Structure 1
Amino acid sequence: MGVPDRCLSLTVRADWGHFRRVDRTVTKQTYRLPPRTTIAGMLAAMVGSSRDSYYEMFAPEVSAIAIEPLGTIRTITEPMLGLSTNPDEHFENAGGTGQKTVKASYPDSTSNRQLHSYELLVDPAYRIDVAVEDEEFYRALAHRLKTGTTHYPLSMGLSEYLAWIEFHGERTVEVCDDEVVKVDSAVPGGVESVVPHEGVRTHVERMPSFMEADERGRRTTGFDDYTFTTDDSAISVRSGSVVPSQISDRSVIFG
């Protein structure tokens, strides 16, 4: 797709957020930005797409997404107790026979609790600009955003961190051709294009970007390095290696 002609612009917010890093095990650390795959899943949930059905619509050649953190990115670490979900362990049943009444299965809550440290995002908010070539999906998403409805509840990573959406409308996209451009969004795959400035601290995270369905359900097919700031500063980039785009009074980079 490259640079789209139009995009849908929205802000997603929550009180808490957690996007678990795939390269961590014991400590549940979070990405500072929602990975592109997470955003694709969130938008598909709004439309009502079934699991593993939407990956091709967000493939790199037919979609474009810009991610802009709003405000300061802040995290805290919270210890949490959890129950084991090992299917080989003993489970008890409650709620009737399961034929005419609801039957629930649950693990023994008196043992096997596990203590994990979760790194949580505090008041996370992100401006998302999204374009897809699939016209049916694009229009369905636009309708959901305009009416303020979703097919499935939205969350900021974990299901208990419910999120809400603010729709900014459909935007026209123009290419910025200045030699150096200040952008508000994170810069995907553009570490070398960032121009350092005194007082502007940049961070880089490698995150999953693309997925595809396979016989086991899904698998990650691509990762990307995203450069961003955690203090609501703009990033200066050389436009020779990336393609900045102008949207209203903001400049972003689609990935």
Structure 2
Amino acid sequence: MTQQDLTDYASDGGDSSTARYVPDTCIGFDVTADFAHFRKVGNNSAKPSYRVPPRTTVAGLLAGIMGMPRDSYYDLFSPSSSAVAVVPKELPHTYTMGITTVNTKADDAIQYLPQERSWHHGAEMLTPESYVKYDRQRDTYEMLVDPVYRVYAALADEDVHDELRERLEDSRYHYSPALGLSECIADIRNVDTHTVESATTDAVDSAAYDDSAVVPRPGITVNRERAPLYMEATDGGRRTTAFGNITYATGDDRLPVDASRTHAVGDHEVVLY
């Protein structure tokens, strides 16, 4: 099913000696939702969103579908063992929404009555203080409206790859897929398996996740948004190992790129990461 491209992969801040993984086949599917939000790094109170889901978000979406624990799947989605491309089929417009949030970390914010004091034997009941102890916070979110993406993904681990394909085809998700926020429940359709072939085009339909493949061209407007690219697990959780620039063309233009990095997959020409 797979092959290894030994061309060095140079990402912004990454390890230039890491080989890119290029599969023979990949899974393709459309994902959409009424709203989406991919919070940009470095912002707290006001929460702007990326227009295209970061690669780390796509990895989290697929890992959640397979029921993988948090921070357990970073090696599986490393650049040497996975390939991802995202085609924004319709770049969404945005809507600013105020959302009231509350801390839901169980150890800090939620308190329970002892079971012997519960009105129902054995049930855990929230104490009244749990509802008022921690202040609510109203944050401003930039929401994407009616986003539609075509995702192409492949994993070097054939067993996991096959399980992912079967789960997508059968709509058998361990965790409900969402586009960013858990409230943004996603709809996945048009699941298929595609052959990955080398292409020679100088423009692609997909976004790029770093600048190394992008070749600016007069008359084509390109947007860049800095985002995490790869992560690794640590004793305290996780850390970003490489950042990149999510780069995409606006309007009806395609993203101009180095032709040597392009592949034909399904109905699209893409750059794989």
Mark yes or no: TM-score above 0.5: yes
- Structure 1 unaligned regions, length at least 5: none
Alignment of 1:13-92 (within 5 A): 13-84=32-103
Partner of 2:4: none
Distance 2:97 2:47 in 1: 10
Partner of 1:248: 266
Say if 1:92 and 1:177 are closer, same or farther in 2 by CA, change over 3 A: closer
- Structure 2 unaligned regions, length at least 5: 1-19
Alpha-carbon displacement from aligned partner over 1:145-172 (angstroms, at most 9, x marks no partner): 1212211111111111111111331100
SS in 2 for 1:213: strand
- Whether contact under 8 Å (1:64, 1:132) holds in the other structure is yes
Kindly indicate whether residue 207 of structure 2 is the aligned counterpart of residue 186 of structure 1: yes
Partner of 2:28: 9
Alpha-carbon displacement from aligned partner over 1:120-152 (angstroms, at most 9, x marks no partner): 111112111001101111010011112122111
Say if 1:50 and 1:21 are closer, same or farther in 2 by CA, change over 3 A: same
User: Which is worse superposed, 2-11 or 98-107?
Assistant: 98-107
Read off the aligned partner of 1:185 and give its amino acid letter.
Answer: S
Alignment of 1:116-127 (within 5 A): 116-127=139-150
Q: Following TM superposition, by how much is the alpha carbon of 1:80 offset from its aligned partner in structure 2, in angstroms?
A: 2.1
Say if 1:254 and 1:192 are closer, same or farther in 2 by CA, change over 3 A: closer
Aligned residues: 250
Read off the aligned partner of 1:188 and give its amino acid letter.
Answer: Y
Give the superposed CA RMSD.
2.5
Partner of 1:159: 182
- Whether contact under 8 Å (2:51, 2:91) holds in the other structure is no
Partner of 1:139: 162
- Whether contact under 8 Å (2:229, 2:244) holds in the other structure is yes
Read off the aligned partner of 1:218 and give its amino acid letter.
Answer: R
SS in 2 for 1:187: coil
Say if 1:88 and 1:165 are closer, same or farther in 2 by CA, change over 3 A: closer
Say if 1:215 and 1:236 are closer, same or farther in 2 by CA, change over 3 A: same
- Whether contact under 8 Å (1:43, 1:141) holds in the other structure is yes
Partner of 1:170: 193
Of residues 237, 249, 270, the one that matches 1:229 is 249
Read off the aligned partner of 1:72 and give its amino acid letter.
Answer: L
Partner of 2:240: 220
SS in 2 for 1:19: coil
- Whether contact under 8 Å (1:71, 1:231) holds in the other structure is no
Alpha-carbon displacement from aligned partner over 1:171-223 (angstroms, at most 9, x marks no partner): 00111135xx220000222367324242x421001111111111112222111
Q: Following TM superposition, by how much is the alpha carbon of 1:90 offset from its aligned partner in structure 2, in angstroms?
A: 7.4
- Whether contact under 8 Å (1:28, 1:118) holds in the other structure is yes
Read off the aligned partner of 2:79 and give its amino acid letter.
Answer: P
Alpha-carbon displacement from aligned partner over 1:30-74 (angstroms, at most 9, x marks no partner): 111111111111101111222222111001111110011111321
Percentage of matched positions with identical amino acids: 36
* TM-score (norm: length of structure 2): 0.82
Q: Following TM superposition, by how much is the alpha carbon of 1:109 offset from its aligned partner in structure 2, in angstroms?
A: 4.1
Of residues 183, 204, 207, the one that matches 2:227 is 207
Say if 1:104 and 1:159 are closer, same or farther in 2 by CA, change over 3 A: farther
Say if 1:59 and 1:84 are closer, same or farther in 2 by CA, change over 3 A: closer
